[in-house]
Structure 1
Amino acid sequence: MKTLIAATLFAFCQVPFAVADDSPFVSEEVLKPELALEMAEAAMTTCRDQGYQVGVTVVDRSGIPQVFLRDRFAGLHVYETSRRKAWTAVSFRTSTSELAVATEPGKPSAGIRQLSEALPLGGGLVVYQGNGSIVGGIGVSGAPGPDLDDVCAQAGIDAIADRIAF
C-alpha cells in the first residue's frame, strides 16, 4: 500500500516538471514605456474631464514605477498614494477596491493593512495581457473618492486594451 501511495505521489509531482521549461531563465512581458505613458495620460485626462486633478502611476509587474503623471493642481499626496495603489494591485494581484473589502478590520486578511507599502484603497488596478498574465499596474489618486479613482484607472487600461489583448 505504501508503494502505491508513493508511486501515485511521485506521478503527480512529476507533472509540473514534465511541462516545465528546462531553461534556467524566466521570460516575462513588460509594457513599453510609451504604452505605460499612454495609459497614464488616458487615466489623467478622464479624471480631468470629470473635474478631478489627480496623479497617476503605472508600475511594471514587479511594482517598479514606469510612469508618473501629476495634473497641475493635484494634491501633494498623489505621488505616494498612486504609486502605492499600483504597487499594491500587482503585489496582491487584485484591485485595491477588492483588497479594501478583504482587509477590513476583523477579517482574516486585515493584517495586510499593517504592511508599510500596501494601500488597500480603491484606485489601483492590475493590468493583464490577453492571455491573463500580469504586465503591470495602474494607480490613480486625487478624485473625490476611491471609486472615481477606479473609473479613471480603468479608462487608462481601456485606452491600450486592444494592443495588449493578444
Structure 2
Amino acid sequence: MKNIYLTYIAATCAVVIAGGAATCKAQTLVTQKSLSTEAALIVAQGALDKCHADGYRVSLTILDNSGLVKLQVRGDGTGPHTLEHSRRKAYTALTFKRASGETAKAWAAATTPPPVIEGTVGAQGGVPIKAGSEFIGAVGVSGAPGGEKDEACAVAGIAKIADLLK
C-alpha cells in the first residue's frame, strides 16, 4: 500500500513539474519602450523654455509609462499648488490616454458623473507622450494663466524629442 501511495505522489509531482515547464516555455518577455531620463530632461527644458519665452512661471511633472514621477520641477516664483497640479494633469493624460483638457471636456459633456480616479483632475495642461502607438509617459504643466497655455508648453516640450518618438 505504501508503494502505491509513493508511486501516486511521484506521478502527481511529475505531471505538475512537466505542466509548469510547459507553461514557462509558453511565456515570453515583454518588450516595451520607455522614456529615458535624458529624453525627460529635454522635454522639461523645452516646456520650460516655451513658458518662459511667453512670460509664464510654471511647474511641471513628467511621468513614466507606469505613472511614476520621472522628473518634477517647481518653477521659480510659482504657487505651492502648481507642482502637485502638474502631476495630476500628467496622470490624467496618462490614465485616459489623451490630453487632460480633452478629458475635462468629456467629463463636462457627460450626462453621468465622471469616474472617481484618485490623482486625476479635469484641467487642461497634461499631454501623453507616445512612441509610435505606445504610451510611454506624460507631461503636465501648471502655472500659466490658463490651461491652454500650460498645454502649449507641454506640447512644445514633447516636440523637442519628436524624432525619438517615431
Please state which band the TM-score falls in when normalised by the shorter chain.
Answer: 0.7 to 0.9
* Counterpart-to-counterpart distance in 2, 1:74 and 1:151: 18
Segments of structure 1 that go 5 or more residues without pairing to the other structure are 1-21
Q: CA deviation at 1:37?
A: 1.1
* Counterpart-to-counterpart distance in 2, 1:128 and 1:29: 9
- Please, what TM-score do these two structures have when normalized by structure 1? 0.80
* Counterpart-to-counterpart distance in 1, 2:162 and 2:122: 24
- Name the structure 1 match of 2:3: none
Matched, 1:73 2:77: yes
2:118 partner amino acid: S
* Counterpart-to-counterpart distance in 2, 1:24 and 1:157: 32
Matched, 1:34 2:10: no
2:121 partner amino acid: L
Provide, for residues 69-111 of structure 1, a one-character-per-residue CA deviation record: whole Å limited to 9, x for no partner. Answer: 1221111111100011111111111110100011117533x32
- Name the structure 2 match of 1:85: 89
SS in structure 2 at match of 1:121: coil
Provide, for residues 20-45 of structure 1, a one-character-per-residue CA deviation record: whole Å limited to 9, x for no partner. Answer: xx434322111110110110111011
* Counterpart-to-counterpart distance in 1, 2:122 and 2:31: 29
1:51 partner amino acid: G
* Counterpart-to-counterpart distance in 1, 2:130 and 2:109: 29
- Name the structure 1 match of 2:130: 128
- Name the structure 1 match of 2:114: 111
Instruction: Give the number of equivalent residue pairs.
Output: 142
* Counterpart-to-counterpart distance in 1, 2:46 and 2:81: 20
- Please, what TM-score do these two structures have when normalized by structure 2? 0.80
Where do residues 1-166 of structure 1 align in structure 2 (5 Å cutoff)?
A: 22-104=26-108, 106-108=110-112, 110-112=113-115, 114-129=116-131, 131-165=132-166
SS in structure 1 at match of 2:98: coil
* Counterpart-to-counterpart distance in 1, 2:77 and 2:147: 18
Name the larger-Rg structure.
2
Contact 1:36–1:58 at 8 Å: present in 2 too? Answer: yes
* Counterpart-to-counterpart distance in 2, 1:104 and 1:141: 20
SS in structure 1 at match of 2:111: coil
* Counterpart-to-counterpart distance in 1, 2:125 and 2:27: 38
Q: CA deviation at 1:128?
A: 0.6
- RMSD, aligned CA: 1.6
SS in structure 1 at match of 2:44: helix
Segments of structure 2 that go 5 or more residues without pairing to the other structure are 1-25
Contact 1:62–1:91 at 8 Å: present in 2 too? Answer: no
* Counterpart-to-counterpart distance in 2, 1:158 and 1:69: 19
